[in-house]
Amino acid sequence: MYSTDLRTDAEKRRAQKADAKRSVEDAAFLDAFQARIDAGDIIEAKDIMPEGYRKTLVRQISQHAHSEIVGMLPEGNWVTRAPTLRRKLILLAKIQDEAGHGLYLYSAAETLGRSRDDMVADLLSGKAKYSTIFTYPTPTWADMGTIGWLVDGAAITNQIPLCRCSFGPYARAMVRVCKEESFHQRQGYEIVTTLAQGTPEQKQMAQESLDRIWWPSLMMFGPPDGASAHSSQNMKWKIKRHSNDELRQRFIDTTVPQAEFLGLKIPDPDLKWNEERGRYDFGDIDWSEMWAVIKGGGICGKARIRARKAAHKEGEWVRAAAAAYAQKRNSEKAA
Smaller CB separation from ligand 3HC, 146 or 244: 244
Q: In whole angstroms, how close is the CB of 294 to ligand 3HC at the nearest point?
A: 5
Q: In whole angstroms, how close is the CB of 161 to ligand 3HC at the nearest point?
A: 9
Q: In whole angstroms, how close is the CB of 160 to ligand 3HC at the nearest point?
A: 11
Smaller CB separation from ligand 3HC, 173 or 196: 173
Smaller CB separation from ligand 3HC, 203 or 219: 219
3-state helix vs strand vs coil in the chain, percent to 5: 70, 0, 25
Which of 137, 169, 139, 149 lies closest to 301, judged by CA? 137
Instruction: Evaluate whether 221 touches 248 at the Cβ level (below 8 Å).
Output: yes
Smaller CB separation from ligand 3HC, 56 or 207: 56
Q: In whole angstroms, how close is the CB of 54 to ligand 3HC at the nearest point?
A: 14
Q: In whole angstroms, how close is the CB of 66 to ligand 3HC at the nearest point?
A: 8
Taken in order 3, 10, 317, 307, is the CA torsion positive or negative? negative
Smaller CB separation from ligand 3HC, 203 or 248: 248
Reported as type and span, the H/E element at residue 331 is helix 316-334
Smaller CB separation from ligand 3HC, 82 or 219: 219
CA atoms within 13 A on the CB side of 78: 27
Q: Torsion angle of alpha carbons 191, 193, 195, 197, nearest 10°?
A: -150
Q: In whole angstroms, how close is the CB of 90 to ligand 3HC at the nearest point?
A: 15
30: CB partners within 8 A, 6+ apart = 50
Smaller CB separation from ligand 3HC, 29 or 215: 215
Between CA 106 and CA 258 the distance in angstroms is: 33
Between CA 108 and CA 45 the distance in angstroms is: 9
Q: In whole angstroms, how close is the CB of 174 to ligand 3HC at the nearest point?
A: 9
Q: Where do the DSSP E strands lie in 67-191?
A: none
Instruction: Evaluate whether 75 touches 144 at the Cβ level (below 8 Å).
Output: yes
Q: What angle is formed at CA 117 by the lines to CA 93 and CA 138, rounded to 5 degrees? A: 40
Contacting positions for ligand 3HC (CB under 6 A): 59-60, 63-64, 67-68, 71, 98, 129, 131-132, 151-152, 155, 158, 219-223, 228-231, 234, 240, 244, 294
